[in-house]
Each structure stands twice: as C-alpha cells, then as structure tokens.
Structure 1
Amino acid sequence: MREINNLKTRLSAAFEMKNLGPIKKILGMKISRDRSAGTLNLSQELYIEKVLSRFRVNDAKPRTTPLANHFKLSKEQSPKTAEERDHMALVPYASAVGSLMYAMVCTRPDIAHAVGVVSKYMANLGKEHWEAVKWLLRYLRGTSSTSLCFGKVKVTLQGFVDADLGGDVDSSKSTSGRALVEMIILDELPFSFVEKEGFKKFMSKVQPLFHIPSRSTITRDCYEVYGELRINLKQSLREIQPRICLTTDTWTPVQRINYMCLTAHFIDRDWVLHKRILNFCPITSHKGEHLAESISNCLLDWNLDNVITVTVDNASSNDVAVLELSKKLDMWGTNLMEGKHLHVRCMAHILNLIVQDGLKEIGPSIKKGETNGEIC
C-alpha cells in the first residue's frame, strides 16, 4: 500500500489529478469489495441491461443455457437468395456479437463457447444464426447479476475434455479429434497409434464418450492438417519473400523406392530462423538431372526463386544437380553472384567419410591388438 501511495504522489506532482477514493466502476464494470471477507467482485449488470434493451430482449423470457442443443449452426443456413441477404443485412448481428464479446472478455467466461460459435457467421448470417444470438441474449437476461469473484478462498481446479463428437456440422470434426491429430504429428507417432490397446484403455478412463477415430481417418485428417499448414506457409513466404537456403538428401528404403527430402531455411522479418520441409517425394532416380528437376519443380510449386545456397553431400550426382539448378536460377534471373557460392558441401557427411576411412586404416591394428589381448 505504501508503494501505491508513493506512486500516486509522484503522478500528482507531474499531472493534475483528483483522488476520487476507492474505485467503484471502470469501463462498464462495477467493482465491489468486501475487505473483511477478502473478496472483490466484478459485475457488468448495468452494461448487460443496456445491451438487452438495445436489442429489445429486456422483457423476453430468460434462458438457462447459453446455447441450446437444438442449435446445429452451419454455413448451409446462410441466405441463398438476394432477397434473403437483403433482409439479413438489416439485422444488427455484428453489433450484438460485439457486445456479447465484450461481456465475455471482461466478466462472463461462461458464454465464451457460445460467442465463439455465433461469431463464425458474422460475414454471412442466416435466420438460425440470429435466433442463436437472441437465445444467448435471453440467457444473459436471466443471469445479468452473475459476477466474477476474486478472494482468498481455496480454489479447486477443475478440468474438462472437449468431446463434441463431430459437433461442427460444416466439417464433421470434433475439437478433440483435431487435438489427437496434432499430437500424432508433433510426437511423430504412427497412424496405427489409435489402434493400440493401451491408448484405447487410457481413453476409456479419461473420456469414455470420445469416439476414437480409425487409422484411415487419422491418416486423412493428417493430410488435411498438412494442407492447411501448407497454405499458411505459402502465404507467409509470399509476404516476407525471404532468401532461402536449401538442404536436400535422398535415400532408398527396403521398398526400393527412391525418396528426396527438400528443406528450406530462412530468416523472417523479426530475425527468427525457420526450418520447413517443402517436399518429401519419390524420385525416378538419383541422377543429377532428375534431382535438379525435382528441386526446381518444388521451388516453382512454392513460388520460391531466391535461393542463396544448396547444401548436399559429396555424391557426384549432387554436383550435377546443383549445376543444373544454377542454370535454372540463371533463367529466372535470381542466381546470386552467378551461383559461385550456391553449392555448399555437407560437413557432417565429410566428417563421416573421414571417420570411416580412419577406422579402415586402423582396423587391422585394432583386430591384432584384440587377438593378442592388448585391447579388451
């Protein structure tokens, strides 16, 4: 308290101020304090009553839930004809949602989900969407005196898991399902993870209502997430237009299919270094011409041509690939310093070769020492 008083003294010395006593109202919020109980309440009852009056629901029958189960809102409920669109243009939907959003942010977290749902249709609202907003306003009419209370009481943290079972009518997805997909991607889990008995048993305990998707569904959803991230990354690269450093490698697994991975390294406007895989694709062969064609096609697909360097191992095919890519960059007019520093050799690969050659040189000596018992 002493520090607060000192601050007020310093501010009053620099600015013209009045001491109005303990704060009672700010930005439409009423503040009440009970010092003996150690509590502080924030209420927007007056603000909510003004909102209800503005949208003419101040005398409507109150509701007990923010959003009823019968509201299955979707994009399909948006206007289909010009007449319907003209009619809905007269509805103060955006104003109502904005008013609800302010109450949600300040003192009414209980309407957060409902506000999030109705706000999705502000650009193209339909009659059903407006009915949902009016329902939410009527819920506030019955709970206008509800307030946030801060105090010294012991708080019990309660958690919940969203298991809406595909409640999004437009995408048939659940928020929980999306979180599961993101977990599989971030932790690099196999798609078959959802079929493991341990995972099924775990989910039956923590959230028995959650419908575990099949392996094929998870595979499809992962591809959809990839598509979304790809679009966002393309937009970001289009905006910042960075210089790109590429790294690439190829290999052939037991299936005898040749693969190439192309990774881009770049710095954004905030000087943050990023690494993004642009492509992971099968290739017809390891020949340099084919590698250069695959890389250039990927760059065209991503609308990238500002390449500074390409880091590859010491394979002779990579020498040809970088040379051919340099010719492509010349054609595009973006080959920095005529490609003199385009080709960067992978030091990790060079060190690996050195170590292997060194082990071959000393291999006989090691075996001899082991045979004679000099090395154990």
Structure 2
Amino acid sequence: MSIQDCIEKKKQWDDKSVRSFEVDNSISEMIALDDLPFSFVESLGFERLMRHLCPSYNLRSRQYYTTFICDKLYGKVSQKILELLKSFEKMSFTSDIWSDSCSGVSLLSLTCHGITEELERKMIVLKAEVFNDGRHTGENIMQKLEGILSTWEIPKEKVKCVVRDAGANMKKGVSLLNVEHIDCASHKIQNVLKEGMKAQETVMAAITKCKKIATHFHHSNSAQDELSKLQKRFNQTPLKIIQE
C-alpha cells in the first residue's frame, strides 16, 4: 500500500458524499429492521465497531438517524407497502389496545394479513396509534381504525375480517366500521384459564403463597444470595424469583 493510499484510508469522507450516504442508509435500515433504539448509534461498542470497519465514515448523532428514518426511509418503505396492499384481493386484520406501564401511553394497533399472488403470507403492522385523547369508547375506536384504513388507502370492500378481543368497546368499535369481525381465540382461551383457576380454591391458595414468597425474595437481598448459594450447591442453574 502506498503512502497516498494510507492517507486516503484515514481521510474522513464528506458527510454529503455517496459513500457516506450509503452507510447512513445501511445503519438506518439496521435500526428499523432490528427494532433498535436510536441511542444505539451512540453506544461505545457500536462506535468502536464503526471506527474499526469504516474509519473514514463520520458517525452521526441519534437525531440525524431519527430524521433520516422518518423522512427518507419511511417514505420509501411506505410506498412499497402501499403497492403490496393494493395487490391483495382481500385482507384480514388483527387489532388490540394495550397500555405501556412505564409511560402510561395507550396504543391501538392494526395489523394487516394478506396473501400474495405467489401464495406468500404477509403480515404488516400498519400503525400503533396513540390513544390518549379520549376514552376507549366504541365510537373513538371506530374513528381511529377508520383513519388508519384511510391512510393506507384500504377500501372496506377488501376487508375480509377483523379479529379482536371480546371487550364490549372493541366489539362496538369494529361493528361501527360495518365490516365482518370475530373474537380472538387466544383471548378466549386465556379468559377460560383465568376463570378456571379462580374457581379452584386450592390453586388460588397455592398462587397466593407463591406470590408471598416472590415478594419476600424481591425485598431481601440476603434471601436472594442464600437462594443462589443453595442452587449452586445442588448444581442447579442460578435463577431469580419472578415477581408478577
């Protein structure tokens, strides 16, 4: 390798160069595909990896990749999704509402399920809509779902069925959309198991005792240390008590 080659290898790329843009795109795709936090690009391990693999690349801040993904990558991907949705003759959907215990944010999700002409099954999460601007009434749910369908240009005639939980508000919301809908089998099985356990006093008594034991270990470091010692003594993999 010549001296000039060494100099070129160490030289920083211009941020607006083609090579720099290609790396920007690859990093952004990795964040999106692997569902990584934007802060990942500022982690020490990733910085070291990039300095080793591509020292000429000027690693950006998390704000840059946030903008890159939302403005450039999202537009490109959403266009492909629109084309895919239009190719489906019929589509089924799953929808649910859940709350994040840490942030207190409620979300309404709508996921599309379709089959391509090549008989490939496709699943697309169309949106996880923030639901903090009102009560979870049937009317509000209907408006949110209708808005998502409209955004993705999905006519109701193409909706084969919507699978939802058995809650009265979800039933009413999807019913107001005037589309076919059914209860989710997994939710029904889960409810059967819950109610079945509640009906058995011995099972509930055992669960209550287990919860008390878990609470004790959760609040006592010395108890956790002693449990770990016992597990090692009997050649067991040290496991921590899970608290519900």
Q: Answer yes or no: is 1:297 the counterpart of 2:135.
A: no
Aligned-partner SS, 1:174: helix
2:73 corresponding residue in structure 1: 225
Q: Cα gap change, 1:343/1:204 in structure 2, threshold over 3 Å: closer, same or farther?
A: same
CA contact 1:263–1:278 (8 Å) conserved in 2: yes
Counterpart code for 2:137: K
Partner Cα distance (1:189, 1:370) in 2: 37
2:127 corresponding residue in structure 1: 279
TM-score normalised by length of structure 2: 0.71
**1:65-84 pair list within 5 angstroms:** none
How far apart are 1:369 and its partner, in Å?
Answer: 10
Counterpart code for 1:300: S
TM-score normalised by length of structure 1: 0.47
CA contact 2:198–2:204 (8 Å) conserved in 1: no
1:270 corresponding residue in structure 2: 118
How far apart are 1:366 and its partner, in Å?
Answer: 6.1
How far apart are 1:321 and its partner, in Å?
Answer: 0.8
Partner Cα distance (2:33, 2:197) in 1: 38
Partner Cα distance (1:366, 1:292) in 2: 38
How far apart are 1:164 and its partner, in Å?
Answer: 6.9
Counterpart code for 1:288: G
Q: Cα gap change, 1:370/1:271 in structure 2, threshold over 3 Å: closer, same or farther?
A: closer
Which structure shows the bigger proportion of residues in helix conformation? 2
Partner Cα distance (1:164, 1:242) in 2: 47
**1:102-141 pair list within 5 angstroms:** none
RMSD: 2.5
Aligned-partner SS, 2:124: strand
Partner Cα distance (2:208, 2:116) in 1: 55
Counterpart code for 1:229: V
How far apart are 1:255 and its partner, in Å?
Answer: 2.7
Partner Cα distance (2:41, 2:57) in 1: 12
Per-residue deviation, residues 41-71 of structure 1 (Å, max 9, x unmatched): xxxxxxxxxxxxxxxxxxxxxxxxxxxxxxx
How far apart are 1:363 and its partner, in Å?
Answer: 5.2
| Larger Rg belongs to | 1
**1:22-37 pair list within 5 angstroms:** none
CA contact 1:243–1:307 (8 Å) conserved in 2: yes
Counterpart code for 2:182: V
Per-residue deviation, residues 183-227 of structure 1 (Å, max 9, x unmatched): 111111111001111111222222222211111111111213122
Q: How many residues align?
A: 192
Partner Cα distance (1:189, 1:209) in 2: 24
1:260 to 108, 128, 140: 108
**1:300-315 pair list within 5 angstroms:** 300-305=150-155, 306-315=158-167
Partner Cα distance (2:207, 2:109) in 1: 43
Partner Cα distance (2:129, 2:96) in 1: 11
1:237 corresponding residue in structure 2: 85
How far apart are 1:345 and its partner, in Å?
Answer: 0.9
How far apart are 1:312 and its partner, in Å?
Answer: 0.5
Q: Cα gap change, 1:173/1:291 in structure 2, threshold over 3 Å: closer, same or farther?
A: farther
Partner Cα distance (2:14, 2:115) in 1: 39
**1:92-241 pair list within 5 angstroms:** 165-168=15-18, 174-223=21-70, 224-238=72-86, 240-241=87-88
How far apart are 1:180 and its partner, in Å?
Answer: 0.7
Aligned-partner SS, 2:36: coil
1:247 corresponding residue in structure 2: 94
Q: Cα gap change, 1:298/1:199 in structure 2, threshold over 3 Å: closer, same or farther?
A: same
2:168 corresponding residue in structure 1: 316
Partner Cα distance (1:343, 1:366) in 2: 34
Q: Give identity over the alignment, percent.
A: 24
Partner Cα distance (1:243, 1:231) in 2: 19
1:325 corresponding residue in structure 2: 177
Counterpart code for 1:325: L
CA contact 1:164–1:174 (8 Å) conserved in 2: no
Partner Cα distance (1:349, 1:321) in 2: 17
How far apart are 1:295 and its partner, in Å?
Answer: 0.9
2:189 corresponding residue in structure 1: 351
Counterpart code for 2:186: A
CA contact 2:112–2:123 (8 Å) conserved in 1: yes
Partner Cα distance (1:259, 1:367) in 2: 34
Aligned-partner SS, 1:344: strand
Partner Cα distance (1:177, 1:196) in 2: 16
How far apart are 1:359 and its partner, in Å?
Answer: 2.5
1:32 corresponding residue in structure 2: none
How far apart are 1:317 and its partner, in Å?
Answer: 0.3
